[in-house]
Structure 1
Amino acid sequence: MSKRRREQHHEEHPDESWLLPYSDLMTLLLALFIVLYSVSAVNTSKLEALSQAFKTAFSSGVGILDHSTILDNTENNKKTEDTKRNKDKDKEKDSSKSQAALQQEEQQNLEQLQKQLDKYIEKNGLSSQLETQLNQSELLITIRDTALFSSASATVKPEAQKLATAIAQMLEGYSDYEIQVTGHTDTRPINTLEFPSNWELSTKRAINFMKILLENTSFDPKKFSAIGKSEYQPIDTNDTVTGRDRNRRVEISILRKYVEPTNPENELSVETSTVSQ
């Protein structure tokens, strides 16, 4: 009787075999949380390396606490980042050298164009009507309006049309540059049916002169623009006849393609040429 009772008592003992996988699972979860906590402040590349290590561990059976894979991947990623960083630095150096070379070449080309224009001005006795100026942003050709238009008119004079044609021929080799034509007036008001104000007059003069330049088929009209500044960008006083004469002008700007960042210590010097008769 006692033997049977002992056997029955033994059979009623619960099965505790599930404790082993349960304890393994808890150990893995604890290890996971510890690792996640330890990498909470690492950069993205290290986190990616950790993720790759977990994938390797679960797919190939490598122990989750075997950190050699993590270290190898992290080291490889670091080397990759260093290589990429060095390549980027080399590209920046090459780009900087290339930019400097292009700026130097452009400077030489614009200086050559300025000399060509100055020679034309001197040869044709136009020094009182035209001047050139090379600065850090453009080659500027300034033409007094008396050489181009009659008073209160935006129609280009016949002799001025020849001048515009000659300038266009000299600009043929620079057709890939942006060219801006700007009209300016003095402060004396105008109020006609065609020109209610100096805004309309200055803009129309710029447009009409630009149209003559564009008769040269070497140019792409997309590279051209015409604007009017009215009386608001004077270069001299409007209190004298001479000053007003200087303020009434048309400017042709050949805009640089390679402009250095603004830096007072590195600004290109302004070269203004006024050819004497």
Structure 2
Amino acid sequence: MADECPKCPEAGAPRWLATFADLMSLLMCFFVLLLSFATMDANKFKKMSESMMNAFGVQRDIPADDVPMGTSIIAQHFSPAQTEPTLLPDVKQSTNQKDTQLDVSAKDMEVLKKQIMEEKLKEIEEQAEQIRKTLQEEINAGLVTVTTEGLKIIIRINEKGSFPSGSAVLKAGFEPVMDKITESVNHSVGEVAVAGHTDDVPISTDWYRSNWELSAARSVTVAHYMLNNKNTDPKRIVIEGYADTRPLVPNDSDKNRAKNRRVEIIIEQDDPTVDLDDSATVIQSDALADKLN
């Protein structure tokens, strides 16, 4: 028998392979025993498979017929106690307001507006009467007239004694009348419009190309005189020129044409019923906001 070569491997399988095979056999027996002892939960298996399918497969919508409900621990371990009536009376607060409208009918609102307007018109008439007393001499002389028209006080300066024919320069001696008018206007309240008017006779001179320029120039002259008084507020003054578009009487005679040639100082006050409507709107808006909140 020949001597074995020390460098050649031993014949057959290596010795560690027998130990590895024994270990694998023991592990297989262990998992077989685990599988035999385990019980299969079909619901959990189904959910796990669906989860795996959604994660690695094609996702699809799964309808949910019922909302998942939690389990109450208190309901399982405790029973509700019987309630007893309390000795204290129940106090509940309630309101009858069911809408956002004011508890004021349209008829009552109209009556209220009428009362406020009557008081305002009475106040304006009293102011106009005070101006008439101040300008009594000029009114008697036919230089000035004072009338009221709704919320307006109209101080009408007639052409007689104020302006020469076809001119926008005040006549000499008319300054005291303008001083009285200016003081009366400064003691009043409201916007002041200075409006010039002419008759229907056309005019074309080097100074004035038409009745429009003449009426506007006379308005500017009166306004400038009033603004020379330091107590006159320029923010109240508005200048207007109407030419022959707004006659007082028909231009069918010299007397009527003389009446239409005039400058009007119109003191107009605000409508007091507008504030009443605005207040009602604000209250209704606040009530609506409270209801929405």
Common topology (TM > 0.5) = yes
Change (3 A) 1:17 1:165: same
Change (3 A) 1:238 1:96: closer
The aligned amino acid for 1:197 is S
Aligned-residue RMSD, C-alpha: 4.0
Offset, 1:115: 1.2
- Aligned residue in 2 for 1:16: 46
Offset, 1:84: 7.8
The aligned amino acid for 1:148 is S
SS in 2 for 1:227: strand
Please tell me whether the aligned partners of residues 99 and 258 of structure 1 are also in contact (alpha carbons under 8 angstroms).
no
Distance in 1, Cα, partners of 2:96 & 2:216: 55
Offset, 1:177: 1.1
- Aligned residue in 2 for 1:152: 166
Change (3 A) 1:149 1:124: closer
Offset, 1:83: 7.2
Offset, 1:234: 0.8
- The equivalent position to 2:175 in structure 1, one of 158, 161, 177, is 161
1:114 aligns with 2:128: yes
1:14-73, CA deviations, whole angstroms, 9 ceiling, x for partnerless residues?
Answer: 833489xx9894445xxxxxxxxxxxxxxxxxxxxxxxxxxxxxxxxxxxxxxxxxxxxx
Please tell me whether the aligned partners of residues 129 and 144 of structure 1 are also in contact (alpha carbons under 8 angstroms).
yes
Offset, 1:212: 1.3
Change (3 A) 1:194 1:188: same
- Aligned residue in 1 for 2:142: 128
Change (3 A) 1:244 1:177: same
Q: Matches of residues 16-165 of structure 1 in structure 2 within 5 Å?
A: 16-17=46-47, 25-27=64-66, 82=97, 85=100, 103=117, 106-124=120-138, 126=140, 128-165=142-179
SS in 2 for 1:231: coil
Please tell me whether the aligned partners of residues 181 and 227 of structure 1 are also in contact (alpha carbons under 8 angstroms).
yes
Distance in 1, Cα, partners of 2:62 & 2:96: 40
Please tell me whether the aligned partners of residues 184 and 231 of structure 1 are also in contact (alpha carbons under 8 angstroms).
yes
Distance in 2, Cα, partners of 1:108 & 1:153: 38
- The equivalent position to 1:202 in structure 2, one of 205, 210, 215, is 215
1:217 aligns with 2:247: no
1:185 aligns with 2:198: yes
Please tell me whether the aligned partners of residues 137 and 259 of structure 1 are also in contact (alpha carbons under 8 angstroms).
no
Distance in 1, Cα, partners of 2:176 & 2:151: 28
Change (3 A) 1:25 1:116: same
Q: Which runs of 5+ in 1 are unaligned?
A: 1-6, 29-78, 262-277
Distance in 1, Cα, partners of 2:118 & 2:64: 70
Offset, 1:150: 0.4
Change (3 A) 1:150 1:107: same
Percent sequence identity is: 23
The aligned amino acid for 2:164 is S
**190-199 or 135-144: which moved more?**
135-144
Offset, 1:12: 11
Please tell me whether the aligned partners of residues 156 and 263 of structure 2 are also in contact (alpha carbons under 8 angstroms).
yes
The aligned amino acid for 1:116 is Q
Change (3 A) 1:12 1:259: closer
1:101-143, CA deviations, whole angstroms, 9 ceiling, x for partnerless residues?
Answer: 7645543432222112222343345352322221223111112
**193-202 or 124-133: which moved more?**
124-133
Change (3 A) 1:256 1:127: farther
SS in 2 for 1:217: coil
Q: Choose between structure 1 and 2: higher helix proportion.
A: 1
- Aligned residue in 2 for 1:231: 244
Please tell me whether the aligned partners of residues 179 and 253 of structure 1 are also in contact (alpha carbons under 8 angstroms).
yes
1:168-227, CA deviations, whole angstroms, 9 ceiling, x for partnerless residues?
Answer: 1122222x4100010000011111122100100000101110111222222211111011
Distance in 2, Cα, partners of 1:258 & 1:165: 29
Change (3 A) 1:25 1:218: farther
SS in 1 for 2:167: coil
